[in-house]
Structure 1
């Protein structure tokens, strides 16, 4: 029973150690990813630091950087919590191993004392000859042989336990050093966060002093975005109308064919936008595949950080709506299609391009491109380059949208975390 309990304990600790390793590695990857985003935003901020005039993009970038830094501190806290659990487990294991080792040494000492008392060949012979019959004499011979073997095994087992104990002590020491390092990292991140929050306060103070100018900027930006969104919706409406006419033409042809053959007319499908856009088996399959990848679509740029989120935004007393997300990325970054589809629109608007790609009943929109590498009617594949990002207010930004028919979706719910 002791052996079974010991095996169970070893297996439990091994599985806990593996689980901790996986969780720790995952947290480390997440922390590194957050740091890459922070570094990218800082690099872009350094390029426009000398601009006397503050822009809305700079404000959004600073807010995003603070959010990322807070997330990173949260990840460090999770790492320390995991490490505390591991330290607690390893401390218990060390204590348990010390107890087992002490008990084994006591048992071994008793065996040694017994062996010392019965070490002479005469004593052993007397022990054997004192048997009441041959079978008992044989069993006593086997007992003496097995006792010697068991004593050797016990010595080896004690050495093994000592090695296990030494190894766990090394691991525990490593855990404590890692915790010290994490505490130091956490302190540094909190200091950096404090500095950025001070900068944020200065920026917001400056914003409030020059609010009239910023309201005018937001108003101008809103006008441009309203025009862009109107063109996007018009382009999608054209595709819906083309799909509707095609579906209705096919229904009329099917009805005429049935009438000519004296057969009942086929049942007409429901007249919905989704029905028109997925009328063909290929479109329906593509739409289903796109939908099944919700939360796992690749980002439209290889590296980047969301600086403006989906929905309504307030800057002072001014408000505006973003039908997608703004992703700040590196200079001249390639822009990629997030899924297989067909390019339905490439339009030059205010000196920048936007590309519209259809995926069944879904559409993805890529705004603020300085150049494009695809044309209307072209089939594209997942992660295929479709253009290059342009600068907006001094920073390279992509405005990315996902729409289900005409309805805007929150891209953060669709792209991979």
Structure 2
């Protein structure tokens, strides 16, 4: 019974260790992903380090980099906490195994001493022959056999427990080394973060000296961006209007056919009544009323468009990113830098120079345009639209069908850093892309 309890405890500890290892693996992957984003932003900042003129892209990249570094330190703290739990569990396991090993050795020693005292074959035979009857003699023989087997089992248990103990000591030593390495990494990251905060302060100081010029630059660029966004919304509204006209024309054609069919039926009924010399029946005229619909429903009027819209919406939170690597440096909604206020209709993603841009879902290219010296692509997904701005080249054309993750162009530099402006619309209403793309 004691052995079963010990084995159950050992199994529980091993299961906890596996779960903890999985958690450690997830934390390691998260830390590596954050580090890749930091390195990408660092490369972009390094290219612009000698620029005398400060840009919004530089400030956003530096702020995002600092935020990511703080996140990385948080992940390292979680790794250390996780290791502390493992060290605590493994220490307890080592203590329990040592206790079990000591008891097993003590019991085994008692058996050996007993066996030494009764090792004479003559004593064993006397023990058997001293039985009162044959049945008791048989039981004494079986007892001697079982005693010998039990000694072998106990020796096996001792060897197994010693092996488990040695393994756990090795794991515990590895945990302690990993913790030491993580603590060193944590200190190193804090030191780098401090240097980056110093750089951030220098940038903000530079910004304060150039504030008026900087605000004028932001205002000018965001004015151009707002004009482009209005142009894109206008294109979407035209698309909705075109679908509305198509739907209403289809409804009118259907109504005309229904009216003609009703008229033919009425004429046939009247001719039959005249031939039978009886009054013609009164058949009400078919009235076809075209009911107005919400603007978005026109975009999903056909079964194919409705299916595409539903599929797009069902993938909310799991759409692929429009680039394979990058960081969101400017979020959706209203922003303020100094006295400059502006609205972002999507998210700004800094990525590698010339990075491939991908369609996030199946759809049809509605428009390919040119603005601010760069291209943009508008793709229709039923009643949804996705917009990809700041492209230096485009590999699709209007009317072309595209599939999920298909390359549609490459990223250009907005100001001095490579960044993609990505937007999602439901009808003509802008959505927050961060809640649609995968985390």
Q: Is 1:69 paired with 2:69?
A: yes
1:25 aligns to what? 25
1:266-285 correspondence to structure 2 within 5 Å: 271-285=293-307
Q: Is 1:375 paired with 2:397?
A: yes
1:14 aligns to what? 14
Compute the displacement of 1:260 (Å). Answer: 3.7
> Runs of 5+ in structure 2 lacking a partner?
263-284
Q: 1 CA distance for matches of 2:288 and 2:197?
A: 66
Q: Is 1:93 paired with 2:90?
A: no
Compute the displacement of 1:172 (Å). Answer: 0.3
2:433 aligns to what? 411
2:117 aligns to what? 117
> Runs of 5+ in structure 1 lacking a partner?
none
2:268 aligns to what? none
SS in 1 for 2:311: helix
1:162 aligns to what? 162
SS in 1 for 2:319: coil
**TM-score, length basis structure 2:** 0.92
SS in 1 for 2:399: coil
2:80 aligns to what? 80
SS in 2 for 1:400: strand
1:17-416 correspondence to structure 2 within 5 Å: 17-262=17-262, 271-416=293-438
Which range is displaced more, 14-23 or 269-278? 269-278
Q: Is the 8 A contact 1:254 1:265 kept in 2?
A: no
Equivalenced residues, count: 417
Compute the displacement of 1:259 (Å). Answer: 3.4
Q: 2 CA distance for matches of 1:280 and 1:408?
A: 23
Q: Is the 8 A contact 2:54 2:214 kept in 1?
A: no
Compute the displacement of 1:268 (Å). Answer: 6.6
SS in 1 for 2:51: coil
Cα pair distance change 1:89/1:212, threshold 3 Å = same
SS in 2 for 1:403: strand
Cα pair distance change 1:78/1:266, threshold 3 Å = farther
Compute the displacement of 1:149 (Å). Answer: 1.1
Compute the displacement of 1:27 (Å). Answer: 0.9
**TM-score, length basis structure 1:** 0.97
Cα pair distance change 1:270/1:159, threshold 3 Å = farther
Compute the displacement of 1:251 (Å). Answer: 2.1
Root-mean-square deviation over aligned CA pairs: 1.5
Cα pair distance change 1:174/1:265, threshold 3 Å = farther
Compute the displacement of 1:399 (Å). Answer: 0.5
Q: 2 CA distance for matches of 1:265 and 1:197?
A: 73
1:155-210 Cα deviation digits (max 9, x unpaired): 11101100000000000000000000000000010011111111111111111221
SS in 1 for 2:418: strand
Q: Is the 8 A contact 2:386 2:425 kept in 1?
A: yes
Compute the displacement of 1:416 (Å). Answer: 1.3
